[in-house]
Structure 1
Amino acid sequence: MAPGAKHSAVAAPDGGWGWMIVAGCFITTICTRAVTRCISIFFVEFHMHFSSEYSRTAWIHSLVDCTTMLCAPLGSYIGNRLSCRVAVMVGGLLSSVGLILSSFASSLEYLYLSLGILTGVGFALCYTPAVAMVGTYFSERKALAYGIAMSGSGIGTFVLAPVVQLLIEHYSWRGALLILGGVVSHLCVCGALMRPLDSHCFPIKTEAPGENKEKEGCFFLSATEEYSFLLIPDFLLLSVSFLFLAFGCSVPFVYLVSYSLSIGVSHQQAALLMSVLGVMGIVGNITFGWISDRQCLRAYRRVSYLLAVGLEGLGCLFVPLLRSFSLLVPFSLFYGYFDGAYVALLPVVTSDIVGPTHLSSALGVVCFLHAVPYLISPPIAGWLVDQTGSYTAAFLLCGFSLICSALILATVTLARRCSKGSSPSLLPRIKPSRS
C-alpha cells in the first residue's frame, strides 16, 4: 500500500471465511454469555459456603454482567484501533486467569474482584469485537448468521449447566471454577480466527511523513464521527428500551435455580431447567434469524424483536404460580425460546439503525447501557427475596420491566409508522420547475 493511501471498502461476502467468523463468535458466546449464566449454579454454593445473604451473594453475578457490559466500549475501542483478533485473545487470557484465581477464593469480596471484575473485563474485550465481526462479513444473510453465532449462548447453557453441576458434586465449586478457567482459555483460539475483512477491524494504515502531526489535532473530530450515531433519534429511543430490557432479563437466569430448590426441586432437575433454557435459546436464535432474513419480513425485524421481548416478560409474570418441576419446564421452554429470539435480533436491529460502519461502536454503547441494570437488578431481586421470604416480587419486577421495554419500542414504532403514513397527504405537492 502506498504511503498515505486509504483502505478501500470491501463488500460483505455473505459466506467464505465469514462462516469461520461465525464459528469463532459462536464459541465466544459459549465462553462468555453461557459461562456467565452458569455462574448462577454456583449461587447456592457461594451462599452456603460463605453463610451470606442472598443480596450479598447476588453481587457476584451482577458484577460479572455489569463489568462485561460496562467495559464493552473498551473492547470496541481496542478492536477498532488495533484489531478484533488482539481484543479477543487478550480478553480470553484475562477471563481465564480470573476464573482460575476465583477457585482460590477465601471470601465474597475476593470473588467480587476475581470473578466479578477480572473475568468480566476479559469477557468485555472478547464479546463486542466478535459480534461486530459477524456484521462486517454478512449483509443479505445477516440475521441468520447472527442467529447461528448467538446460539452459542443457548447451546453453551444447555451443555454447561448439567456439566457444571456434576463438576461441583465431584470436585466442589473450587474445582469446577478451575476447570471452567481452562474451558474459557479457548477464547484465545477464537481470537486467532478473527481475520479482518477490511479497515473496519484493522484500521491501522501507513502514514505519509508529517501526517501524524496533523492527526493529533483531529482526534476529537475523529471520535465525534465514530460516535455520530448517538444523535440518531431511533437509536436513542432504542437505548431507552434497552435499559428496561437489561433490568429484567438477567433475573430469571440468576434465581431460577434457587427458586426451583426452594419449592422442592432437586439439584439435578434445577440444572436441567437451565439446560432447557439453553436449548430453546438455540431454537429461538436460529428460527427467528432465518425468518427475519426472508425478503418479505426484513422490514419488520424491529417488530419481531419487540414481540420477543414482550412475550418473554409475560412468561415471567406466571413464575410465582409454578410450584413444581413439571410446571417450570414449560416456562423454561417458553422463556428460553423468546430469549434466544431477542438475543439474535438485538445486533441486527442495531445494525439496521446505525449501519455496518458504526456497528462495533454501537454494540459497545448498547452493552454499556446494560451495565448498571445488570449490576443492580439481581441484588434488588435478592433484597426483595430477603424481605418478603418469597420470589414473587422478584419475578413480577422482572416481567413488568421486560414488558415496559417492549411497550416503549412498540409505541415509538407505531407512532413513526402512523406519521409516515399520514405525512404525504399533509405536505403540498410541488411540481418541479422547468428551466
Structure 2
Amino acid sequence: MMKASWEHYWRWVVVFARFVALGMLVGTYKSFGVLMDFYIEDLDATAAKIGGATALFLTVAYLTGPIVGVLTELQGPNGARIQIMVGGVLASVALCLTALSTTWIHLAALLVLAGVGYGMVQVATVAPLLMYFTDQFGLANGISAAGGAAGMIILPPLTEKWIETYSWRGASILLGVASLHTTVAGALMRPPTTYKDKHLYFPINGQNDSLLYKDYDRFFTPVKNFASSLKENLSIEVFRKQPRFVLYQFIFLLSAITFAGWHLFLVPNALSRDVPPIDAAFLASIGGVGNLIGRAGNGPLLDHHIFSDTMLFVVIHFILAVVLLFDPLAQTYGTMAFLAFFAGLTVGAGYAVTVYIAKNLASSTEHGDGSVMAAVGWTHFFMGFGALLGGPLVGASFDMTGKYHLGFLIMGGVELLLTLMTLVETLYTRRRTSNDGLKYVLM
C-alpha cells in the first residue's frame, strides 16, 4: 500500500520533470529568434541561411524520433531515463560550442548535434507518462507539455539580458549550461516498479483495449534478433494498415512549417518594425503565456470528450491561420502582443493535440496495430521535414522583401490548407463509421 501510494505521488514529479525538459527545448529554440540578428551580422549570412541553420536544431530533434522511440522501448523501463540524461549533456555541450562559431555552417553543424541531444529528450519523455498515466494521459500530457510555454516565457527575455551583458556568444554558453537542467529532469523520471522487466506496447491486432506487456530480454539475446526487433518496434506496418496515420503524417508535416517559422521569427518580425529589442523579446513571453494556456488547457477537453482530438485540431489551426494572416496588418505593439498571445495559444495547443492524435492512431484497433512510442517517433520524424522548410521559407521572404509579411501570409495559407484537410478527413471518417456522423461532430 505504501509503495503504491508513493508511486501515485511520484508520477507528478515525472510530469514536472517533462515540464522542465520541454521548457528547455522550446525555450532554447525560441531564444534563437532573439539571437537571429546577431547570427546574421556576425556570421555574415542571409536570413534564409540562418533560418535554415537554426531550423536544423528542431528538424534533427524531430527526425531522430523513430530511432529514439525504438531505443527507448528496447532498453526497457529505464530506457527513457537514460536517453534523456545523455541527450541533455549532448545538447548542453553543443550549445556551448556555438559560441565559437565563425560561419553559419559551423553554427548549423553544432545545432545539428544539439538537435540530436534534444531529439533523445523530446520523444523519450512520452514513455514515462504512458507508464504512469494509463487513464489520464491527456491531462498529464497537457500539463507537462506546458513546460514548453514556460520556456518561451522565461528564456528569450533572459537571453536578451545575457546578450546585453555578455554578448551573443556569452549568451550562447549560458543557454548551453541551462540545458543541463534537462539531465536533472531525466534523472527524476524513474519508472514505476510495476514496469520492471516489462516492455510497453499498445493493443495488437485488436485483441483488447488495454496495454499489453512483453518481456524485452529477448531483444538482448542473439544479435540476429536485433534486426527483427528493430523492424517490429519501428512499426513500419502502421503505414500500410492505417491509411489515416499516413495522411496525418503529412498534416503534421505542414503544421511544423508554422511551428518552426513562428517560433524563430516572432521576435525578428517585431525588430523589423522598429520595436525595441527588449520589447520584441517580451513578445515571446506574451506568446509563451498563451502557449502555456493552450498546452495545459487541451487535456480536460479531450479526456472529458468535449471535443474529439481531430475536431479540436481543426479549431486550433483555423484560429492560428486567421492570426497569421492578420499579422501584416498589425501596426501597434498592442496589436502585435494580442496576435502573439493567440498564436502562442494555438501553437501550444496544436502540438499537445498532435501527440494525442498520434497516440490514438497507434492504439486504434480499427485499422491495425502499432506501438505508441513508434507512432510518436514517426510523427516527430515527419514534423522534422516541416521544421526544415519553415525557417528557410520565412527567412527567404525577408531576404526578398525586407519584411516578414510574406512569410507570415505563407504560414497562414499553410494553416488553412491543413485545417481543410483535417476537417474533410474527420467528417468523412465520422460519416463512414456512423449514420449520424455529421450530427455527432457538430454536438
Q: Give the TM-score category using the shorter length.
A: 0.7 to 0.9
Cα offsets for 1:259-306 (capped at 9, x unmatched): 111112110110010000111111111222222222x426x1221122
Query: What residue number does 1:358 align with?
Result: 371
Question: Following the alignment from structure 1 to structure 2, what is the Cα–Cα distance between the partners of residues 88 and 359?
Answer: 18
Question: Following the alignment from structure 1 to structure 2, what is the Cα–Cα distance between the partners of residues 110 and 273?
Answer: 29
Query: What residue number does 1:333 align with?
Result: 341
1:399 is displaced (CA, Å) by 0.7
1:119 is displaced (CA, Å) by 0.5
1:263 counterpart = 2:259: no
Question: Following the alignment from structure 1 to structure 2, what is the Cα–Cα distance between the partners of residues 106 and 221?
Answer: 43
Query: What residue number does 1:62 align with?
Result: 55
Question: Following the alignment from structure 2 to structure 1, what is the Cα–Cα distance between the partners of residues 260 and 126?
Answer: 20
Question: Following the alignment from structure 1 to structure 2, what is the Cα–Cα distance between the partners of residues 412 and 402?
Answer: 15
Question: Following the alignment from structure 2 to structure 1, what is the Cα–Cα distance between the partners of residues 408 and 217?
Answer: 55
Query: What residue number does 1:404 align with?
Result: 417
Higher deviation after alignment, 65-74 or 122-131 = 65-74
**Partner AA of 1:229 in structure 2:** V
Question: Following the alignment from structure 1 to structure 2, what is the Cα–Cα distance between the partners of residues 66 and 206?
Answer: 33
Which among 325, 329, 332 is matched to residue 321 of structure 1?
329
Query: What residue number does 1:155 align with?
Result: 150
1:382 counterpart = 2:390: no
Query: What residue number does 2:257 align with?
Result: 247
Question: Following the alignment from structure 2 to structure 1, what is the Cα–Cα distance between the partners of residues 218 and 274?
Answer: 67
Question: Superposition RMSD on alpha carbons, in Å?
Answer: 2.5
Query: What residue number does 1:223 align with?
Result: 231
TM-score (norm 1): 0.88
Query: What residue number does 2:204 align with?
Result: none
**Partner AA of 2:411 in structure 1:** C
Any conservation in 2 of the 1:21–1:134 contact (CA below 8 Å)? Answer: yes
Quick one: structure 1 residues 168 and 205, their matched pair in 2 at CA, closer, same or farther if it must change by over 3 Å? Answer: same
Quick one: structure 1 residues 44 and 142, their matched pair in 2 at CA, closer, same or farther if it must change by over 3 Å? Answer: same
Quick one: structure 1 residues 204 and 250, their matched pair in 2 at CA, closer, same or farther if it must change by over 3 Å? Answer: same
Which among 2, 10, 19 is matched to residue 12 of structure 2?
19
1:78 counterpart = 2:71: yes
Query: What residue number does 1:185 align with?
Result: 180
Question: Following the alignment from structure 2 to structure 1, what is the Cα–Cα distance between the partners of residues 129 and 321?
Answer: 28
**Partner AA of 1:175 in structure 2:** G
Cα offsets for 1:20-71 (capped at 9, x unmatched): 2211111110111221121111001111222321111212211111111111
1:102 counterpart = 2:115: no
Any conservation in 1 of the 2:30–2:152 contact (CA below 8 Å)? Answer: yes
Question: Which consecutive residues of structure 1, in runs of 5 or more, have no partner in the other structure?
Answer: 1-10, 425-435
Any conservation in 1 of the 2:253–2:384 contact (CA below 8 Å)? Answer: no
Which among 22, 40, 44 is matched to residue 51 of structure 1?
44
Identity %: 25
Question: Following the alignment from structure 1 to structure 2, what is the Cα–Cα distance between the partners of residues 204 and 140?
Answer: 23
Query: What residue number does 2:245 align with?
Result: 235
Q: How many residues align?
A: 407
Query: What residue number does 1:3 align with?
Result: none
1:292 counterpart = 2:306: no
Any conservation in 2 of the 1:276–1:332 contact (CA below 8 Å)? Answer: yes
Cα offsets for 1:325-350 (capped at 9, x unmatched): 11101101111111121122221121
Question: Following the alignment from structure 1 to structure 2, what is the Cα–Cα distance between the partners of residues 192 and 315?
Answer: 39
Query: Runs (4+) of structure 1 moved beyond 6 Å?
Result: 201-204
Query: What residue number does 1:301 align with?
Result: 309
Question: Following the alignment from structure 2 to structure 1, what is the Cα–Cα distance between the partners of residues 214 and 283?
Answer: 44
Any conservation in 2 of the 1:248–1:397 contact (CA below 8 Å)? Answer: no
Question: Following the alignment from structure 1 to structure 2, what is the Cα–Cα distance between the partners of residues 220 and 207?
Answer: 11
1:205 is displaced (CA, Å) by 4.8
Any conservation in 2 of the 1:237–1:409 contact (CA below 8 Å)? Answer: no
1:423 is displaced (CA, Å) by 9.6
Question: Following the alignment from structure 2 to structure 1, what is the Cα–Cα distance between the partners of residues 415 and 19?
Answer: 26
Quick one: structure 1 residues 119 and 225, their matched pair in 2 at CA, closer, same or farther if it must change by over 3 Å? Answer: closer
1:129 counterpart = 2:129: no
State the secondary structure of the residue aligned to 1:307: helix
Query: What residue number does 1:393 align with?
Result: 406
Question: Following the alignment from structure 1 to structure 2, what is the Cα–Cα distance between the partners of residues 200 and 406?
Answer: 36
Question: Which consecutive residues of structure 2, in runs of 5 or more, have no partner in the other structure?
Answer: 201-212, 365-369, 438-443
Q: Which has the larger radius of gyration?
A: 1
1:225 is displaced (CA, Å) by 6.0
Question: Following the alignment from structure 1 to structure 2, what is the Cα–Cα distance between the partners of residues 221 and 336?
Answer: 40
Quick one: structure 1 residues 362 and 35, their matched pair in 2 at CA, closer, same or farther if it must change by over 3 Å? Answer: same
Quick one: structure 1 residues 217 and 122, their matched pair in 2 at CA, closer, same or farther if it must change by over 3 Å? Answer: closer
